[in-house]
Structure formats: C-alpha cells, structure tokens
C-alpha cells in the first residue's frame, strides 16, 4: 500500500508509535510528519508465511529513498488492527512493516558503539541542539571470524 494523500497520511500516523527511547518526545510535530508511507503487506494467498523478505524490502526501499535525498523510518510498532481498518484490508492481506518517508529535517549523527555486547549501547539519543545520535556497532565487532587469504 502506498499513500501520499495528506488525509490518509494523517490517519496512518495515528496508528504509529515513535522513538520509544526518547521518553520526552511524543513524535514529530504537525508539519514535520511523514509526507508518504509504504505499508509492507503479507499476501497470504501467495505465501503461507513470511521470513526475512520484508526486512530486505524495507532496507532496499529505504536505501532507494536515501539515494533520492529522502529521509525514512521503518516502523514495527504499529496498531495493526486500527491500520487494517483504516486501509480496509481484505482478510488475505496482513501488515508487516510501515515505512514512513519525507524530506529530512533533523541532523543525524551516526556514532560507534564502544561496548558491542552492551545491549543498551544502541539506544539513540538527542542532544540539547536536537541533533539525533544513533550509535552503531562497528564493522570489526560485527565480524565473528575471518578466514582470509
């Protein structure tokens, strides 16, 4: 499902939960909210179950969006019952993920995680200048073993 109709975008927005780690931020202000959505759906007539396909879809669409200068957010915290009602989805279509897209407004800084086994270390945070910091595990700590010639 794809949408950029403002009325539909605002109805989709009402079913989403934003940035659980930022306790004092309820989500983007009106006027800064996503201007388009892609909802990834599972067509149960085509496949009984889904595994990793929607992760690949989400990432690929986000990379495509980023290459066009758009910002995006993958959302799994979705009120699926409400959204299925809003989209009037038939029984055979189930909501997997929601992709929110728009013109990026915030400054985002990607940082290295120091302690790779610390589960909390990847919590994103905001500084006083409203810069969004996203800690990422480094490539070296992600590779378990190397057998290279």
Ligand X SMILES: Cc1cc2nc3c(=O)[nH]c(=O)nc-3n(C[C@H](O)[C@H](O)[C@H](O)COP(=O)(O)O)c2cc1C
Residues that bind ligand X (CB under 6 A): 17-19, 73-77, 124, 134
User: Minimum CB separation from ligand X for residue 75, in Å?
Assistant: 4
Which of 142, 7, 21 has its CA nearest to residue 77?
A: 21
Q: Which is nearer to ligand X, 90 or 111 (CB)?
A: 111
Q: Which is nearer to ligand X, 45 or 81 (CB)?
A: 81
Which of 114, 87, 94, 116 has its CA nearest to residue 41?
A: 94
Round to whole Å and give the CA distance between 94 and 140. Answer: 37
Q: Which is nearer to ligand X, 59 or 90 (CB)?
A: 59
User: Minimum CB separation from ligand X for residue 55, in Å?
Assistant: 7
* CA angle at 76 for the pair 11 and 92, rounded to the nearest 5°: 75
User: Minimum CB separation from ligand X for residue 146, in Å?
Assistant: 25
Token pair listed for 112: 């290295």
Q: Which is nearer to ligand X, 17 or 103 (CB)?
A: 17
User: Minimum CB separation from ligand X for residue 149, in Å?
Assistant: 33
Which of 16, 18, 22 has its CA nearest to residue 133?
A: 22
Inter-residue contact 59 to 48 (CB < 8 Å): no
Please compute Rg for the chain using Cα positions. Answer: 18
Q: Which is nearer to ligand X, 6 or 21 (CB)?
A: 21
User: Minimum CB separation from ligand X for residue 49, in Å?
Assistant: 17
């Amino acid at each position: 499902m794809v949408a950029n109709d403002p009325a539909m975008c605002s109805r989709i927005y009402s079913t989403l939960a934003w940035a659980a780690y930022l306790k004092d931020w309820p989500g983007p202000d009106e006027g800064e909210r996503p201007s388009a959505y892609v909802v990834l759906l599972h067509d149960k007539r085509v496949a009984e179950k889904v595994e990793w396909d929607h992760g690949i879809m989400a990432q690929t669409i986000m990379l495509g969006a980023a290459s066009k200068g758009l910002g995006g957010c993958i959302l799994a915290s979705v009120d699926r019952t409400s959204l299925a009602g809003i989209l009037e989805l038939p029984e055979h279509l189930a909501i997997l993920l929601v992709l929110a897209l728009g013109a990026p407004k915030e400054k985002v800084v990607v940082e290295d995680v120091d302690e790779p086994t610390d589960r909390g270390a990847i919590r994103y945070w905001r500084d006083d200048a409203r810069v969004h910091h996203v800690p990422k595990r480094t490539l070296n700590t992600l590779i378990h073993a190397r057998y290279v010639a």
